[in-house]
Structures are given as C-alpha cells and as structure tokens.
Amino acid sequence: MIKLKDILNEWTKKPPTEKRWSKSFSGNTGLTEFEQNGGKDTLKEMPYSKIKGGKHASIYDMKKEMEEGKFDPKNPNINVHGLYTVHLKLLEKTVKRDLKHLMDDIGYESGAKKLNWYLYEKNAVQSKIKGLWEVYQQMNSSQYKRAVTMYKRKR
C-alpha cells in the first residue's frame, strides 16, 4: 500500500549536491567540491551580466564599453527596443522635445486627440517614456551600482 507521506516526499526530496562552502580539510587545492568540478562562484563574477533589461529599453553594450574603458556611468548607451540605440542624455532630450510639441498643440481638438493617442495608445513616444523609466530603475539597482564601482576601481 502506498502511503501519502511517500508520495509527498517524492516531490520534496533533492539529490545531494556538491558542497559550495569551505571547511578545514587536508587537501592541497584550496577549492570546494563545486569549484573542483568546474563550477564558478557567481559572487566573484562581474555583476554587469546580472543587470536585467526592461520590456521597452535596456542598457546597451555595458560590458564591451567597460572592457574598452569608454563607459560613462552617468550617460550609458540605451537600446530603446524596436527604435534605436542612443545615449541616456539624448533620450531625455528627445522625450522632453516630443512632450513639448504635444503640449503646444493642446489648444485644438485635433491636438487633444493627438495627445490622447500619444499617451494612451502604443507608440514610439510611450515606448521612450517607459523605456526611460526602466533605465532609471536599472541604474538604481544594486547590480548596476556595484558594476560601476568595480569599473571605477579597475581604471
């Protein structure tokens, strides 16, 4: 007879894994079991590989620019998905310019209709605005700040 406890334990039992911590031992390599079998400790890796891109925009070629020494932490290259790749400051200027043009047309019915379309329908201006917000969130993440700190120390 099969017991309910055996069925439930079947899903929760995990096979033994390699040890990822150090302990006193008599070996001469100084590596953990996980590292001896080819595993890499992700804490020692550069953090820029962990920065997640957004749905509308992401920081573009950060790793490549850091390796070349051309990375500017306050003005990174931004890929607005489906549109273009541009520096952050230029993206801010284009969003300001687009919104200013929309606000100038507000005195007419057609201007209000156009403003409604730009703000509430899917279009390039909306993607730029949402992408800008996503990039600011990426830049405020601990992974980005750590990557910038490590980049500055390397230079």
User: For 51-63, how does the pLDDT look when each residue is reduced to its tens digit (9 = 90+)?
Assistant: 677 888 999 988 8
- Of the candidates 65, 95, 63, the one whose C-alpha atom is nearest the C-alpha of residue 80 is 95
Strands of the 84-87 sheet, one edge to the other = 57-59, 77-80, 84-87
CA separation for the pair 89, 136 (Å, rounded): 12
Alpha-carbon 118 to chain mean position: 26
Locus of tokens 């390039």? 124
Cα-trace Rg, the chain = 25
Q: What percent of the chain has pLDDT over 70?
A: 72
Amino acid occupying residue 144: Y
**Average pLDDT taken over every residue of the chain:** 80
Full-prediction pTM beyond 0.75? no
* pLDDT, tens only, 80-111: 988 899 999 999 999 999 888 888 888 888 88
Confidence at 124, pLDDT banded by 50, 70, 90: confident
For residues 12-38, average pLDDT: 62
User: What are the phi and psi torsion angles at 59 (to 5°)?
Assistant: -75, 130
Over residues 34-86, the pLDDT tens digits come to 666 666 655 444 444 566 778 889 999 888 998 898 999 999 999 998 889 99
Alpha-carbon torsion 130, 133, 139, 144, what sign? negative
